[in-house]
Amino acid sequence: MSKLTSTACMTAEDLTTDLLGKIGNTPLLDLTKCAQGSVPSGVSIWAKAEWYNAGGSVKARPALRMIQEGERLGKLKPGMTILDSTSGNTGVAYALIGLLKGYKVKLVMPANVCNERKHLMATAYHAEIVFSDPLQGSDGAILECRRIFNEDPGQYFWPDQYNNPANWQAHFYTTAEEIWRQTDGKVTHFLAGIGTSGTVMGTSRGLKAKNPDIKCYAVEPAESLHGIEGLKHMSTSIVPGIYAPNELDGKISVKTESSYEMVNVIKDTVDVMVGTSAGAAVYAAVTLGQSLKEGLIVTVLPDSCECDVAHGIFNLLLKK
């Protein structure tokens, strides 16, 4: 039998460290073409390709930091189960990180989360899934998670992503730093969708700490009943404790239909297939760009589109 070369050889421990190291440092893509000439020539639009993270989404960043902080503060100890509510992406990240670090993971999510994600969490990463009422959306999952935790608090580490400062801090220390470095400090505007609000709060705080003139906006679904996966309509939802809108420069509302259309524009102009919240973020970035004379706008593409394909959104678009 031929001998393995030392570079091909990896212990399971190396692999764990290697995978956890593949969270953060995502590429910044030039999406100016997606404005289809509707923004002035001095305006450019860029976006972080967050499906490059291990776990496939932007939520790997806060999931890792919340777990590491739990360990550091002694709230998460060997033998405990990580429990949280999620609309899917944080769950995948918890399940992967839990598996790599040897913790059991229990996730509460609305029953209509796409099958691909459910399979990944349950079958590949061995997480236990509890389904909540799909009609109650992410708020139903939050309430069910709280109920499960209160039944046996000693058994669980509940990061509570909606109220945990480590959520926004992950973006303060990683996403904002990367954007600053990748734009050579030239970023003028930042915007991101609000789910827990960790991405927009942490990145905005980080960028404003570097340059207080940078303008930052939250992107929100225009309707309370919407189809933008991962985003929350704040005035009709349980408001996350970490959300501090007074620190932002405003909010841009996007209709579900506009976000779906932008997903298609992104596919046709730059050949990448992103999720609907990414469509909403880029639609908002284009709208903002149309109101400027010049500027370097940065946004976040939280995930790719596997769930949208599963939900038939691309078929809907093709029928138009």
* Site residues for ligand PMP per CB under 6 A: 59, 87, 89, 193-199, 229-231, 275, 277, 302-303
Assess contact for 106 and 145: CB atoms under 8 A.
no
Q: Which is nearer to ligand PMP, 53 or 199 (CB)?
A: 199
Q: Tell whether the torsion through CA atoms of 112, 113, 114 and 118 is positive or negative.
A: negative
Q: Evaluate whether 214 touches 189 at the Cβ level (below 8 Å).
A: yes
Shortest distance (Å) from residue 230 CB to ligand PMP? 2
Please identify, using beta-carbon distances, which residue of 275 and 289 lies nearer to ligand PMP.
275
As a whole number of angstroms, the distance between CA 128 and CA 82 comes to: 10
Give the nearest distance from C-beta 291 to ligand PMP in angstroms. Answer: 23
Give the residue with the Cβ less far from ligand PMP, 43 or 87.
87
**Segment holding 281, helix H or strand E:** helix 276-290
Please report the DSSP string for 137-192 in residue order.
HHHHHHHHHHHHHHH-GGGEE---TTT-HHHHHHIIIIIHHHHHHHTTT---EEEE
Shortest distance, CB of residue 294 to ligand PMP, whole angstroms? Answer: 28
Q: Which residue is nearest to ligand PMP (CB)?
A: 230
Nearer to ligand PMP, 68 or 155 (CB): 68
- Distance in Å, CB of 151 to ligand PMP, minimum: 25
Give the whole-angstrom CA distance, residue 308 versus residue 203. 26
- Supply 230's token pair: 């991962």
Q: How far is the CB of 287 from ligand PMP (least distance, A)?
A: 18
CA distance 122 to 263: 28
CA dihedral (63, 65, 70, 74) in degrees, to 10, reads 150
CB of residue 299 to ligand PMP, shortest distance in Å: 11
Which helix (DSSP H) or strand (DSSP E) does residue 118 occupy?
helix 115-119
Residue nearer to ligand PMP on the CB measure, 53 or 196? 196
Whether 170 and 147 have beta carbons less than 8 Å apart is answered as no
Cβ closer to ligand PMP: 43 or 132? Answer: 132
39 or 284: CB nearest ligand PMP: 284
Minimum CB–partner distance for residue 219 and ligand PMP (Å): 9
Residue 84 vs 303, nearer CB to ligand PMP: 303
| Best CA proximity match to 200, nearest among 117, 280, 296, 124 | 280
Q: How many CA atoms are closer than 13 Å to the CA of 252, on its beta-carbon side? A: 28
The CB-of-131 to ligand PMP minimum distance in angstroms stands at 17
CB 21 to ligand PMP: min, Å: 21
Query: Measuring CA to CA, which residue among 108, 23, 53, 122 is closest to residue 303?
Result: 53
